[in-house]
Amino acid sequence: MWIEYNPNPKGKRVGDCAVRAVAKALNTNWIHAFLLIIIDAIRLCDMPSSNSVWGATLYRHGFRRESVPMCDDCYNAEDFCHEFFKGTYVLGFGTHVATVVDGCLYDSWNSLSEIPQYYWYKEEK
């Protein structure tokens, strides 16, 4: 259910989780995803790692945000993958972000036990 995914051209694994998640969600490479996020960072005068910045990038590409009902530790990313086994989703964990595609979590480390606070999904046209 977890697939190791790190499109960073230098193999770096710290500080760029939003870029990695956006790259997977938009089916693009790391550099293109970073540039898309930077455009929104400049437009919003905020840092690229800010949830509102990379969220704006997803929004501009047809994604919408939903909250995950809070229940402390009773619903983790693995549970999300079982429930949402079709489609593309970006999970926000507070200080981390990862992408789920067709029930598989794509991340540079196994974050299946993390507790999502919200998720972005691709709105169907």
pTM here is: 0.94
Q: What end-to-end distance do the CA atoms of the chain give, in Å?
A: 28
**Total Cβ atoms within 10 A of residue 89:** 24
What is the helix (H) or strand (E) element at residue 98, kind and residue range?
strand 97-101
| Domain count within the chain | 1
The pLDDT tens digits for 13-26 are 889 999 999 999 99
Q: Yes or no: say if 114 and 96 are a contact pair by the CB < 8 Å rule.
A: yes
Which residue range(s) make up the domain with 42?
2-122
Q: What is the pLDDT of residues 72-123, one digit of tens each?
A: 668 999 999 999 999 999 999 989 999 999 999 999 999 999 999 999 999 7
* Token pair recorded at residue 12: 């770096």
How far is residue 76 from each of residues 7, 38, 56, measured CA to CA in Å? 24, 30, 24
